[in-house]
Amino acid sequence: MRIVFIGPPGAGKGTQSLRVAKDLGVTHLSTGEVLRESRERGAVIGKRAAVYLDAGKLVPDEIVIELVAYRLAESDCKSGYLFDGFPRTLAQAKSLDALLAQQDAPLHAAIEFVIPEEELLERLSKRGREDDTKERIRERLRQHSEITVPMTEYYEELGILYRIDAVGTPDEVFARIGEALAGIDQS
């Protein structure tokens, strides 16, 4: 199964994507996590991304696409994967499709987490991650609604977009994702 998870910060993508990837037995990849780790290690990609991570802005497409192309070529992605937080722009979505077309292995599903902004602000204020200051949170939400939400139309047109109500307990949300994925043609 080849799946992408789309959603604003605080929607529960991280928790759910780990759980769903484990359940399906596919590789989990969070671009945000890879970028943070690569920055901590002092790697070139991390250094290039640092200024954007600090500002709560999207890292430029070419950096993220390079990272994903490299990861997709690794053997653990052959039997399926779940991308958490990628793609986030239309350019990323189109680049991913081009990469997957070369492998004749298109996406099965794009899962969008839908959640009201007040609920997100409440959750994020409790999370306390390093990039969760008020200003950065506001910027990340703005980038999500202005750049990432319009991208979902692309997947809607392709007929592979599934919108999930992300309000509820982790078990409830997990069950909703399971229901959506159960109806998917994996051929």
User: Residues annotated in the binding site for AMP, as ranges?
Assistant: 31, 36, 57-59, 85-88, 92, 129, 140
Q: E strands of 65-128, at which residues?
A: 81-84, 109-114
Quote the Cα angle for 46-145-81, to 5°.
Answer: 55
Compare residues 27 and 31 and give the one whose CB is closer to ligand AMP.
31
User: Considering the rule CB under 6 A, would residue 59 count as an interface residue with ligand AMP?
Assistant: yes
Structure tokens at 1: 């199964």
Q: Encode the chain in three state secondary structure.
A: CEEEEECCCCCCHHHHHHHHHHHHCCEEEEHHHHHHHHHHCCCHHHHHHHHHHHHCCCCCHHHHHHHHHHHHCCHHHCCCEEEECCCCCHHHHHHHHHHHHHCCCCCCEEEEEECCHHHHHHHHHHHCCCCCCHHHHHHHHHHHHHHHHHHHHHHHHHCCEEEEECCCCHHHHHHHHHHHHHCCCCC
- The nearer residue to ligand AMP, 6 or 181, going by C-beta atoms, is 6
182: tokens are 């159960």
User: Of the two residues 52 and 154, which places its CB atom closer to ligand AMP in the complex?
Assistant: 52
Residues 126-145 vs ligand AMP: string with x where CB under 6 A? --------------x-----
**53 near ligand AMP, rule: CB under 6 A:** yes
Q: Which residue is nearest to ligand AMP (CB)?
A: 32
Residue closer to ligand AMP by CB (options 5, 186) is 5
In the complex, minimum distance from the CB of residue 176 to ligand AMP, in angstroms, rounded to a whole number: 20
Closer Cβ to ligand AMP, 26 or 92, answer by number: 92
Residues 152-171 that bind ligand AMP (CB under 6 A): none
Binding string, 81-120, against ligand AMP, x = CB under 6 A? ----xxxx---x----------------------------
Binding site for ligand AMP (CB under 6 A): 9, 30-32, 35, 52-53, 56-59, 64, 85-88, 92, 140
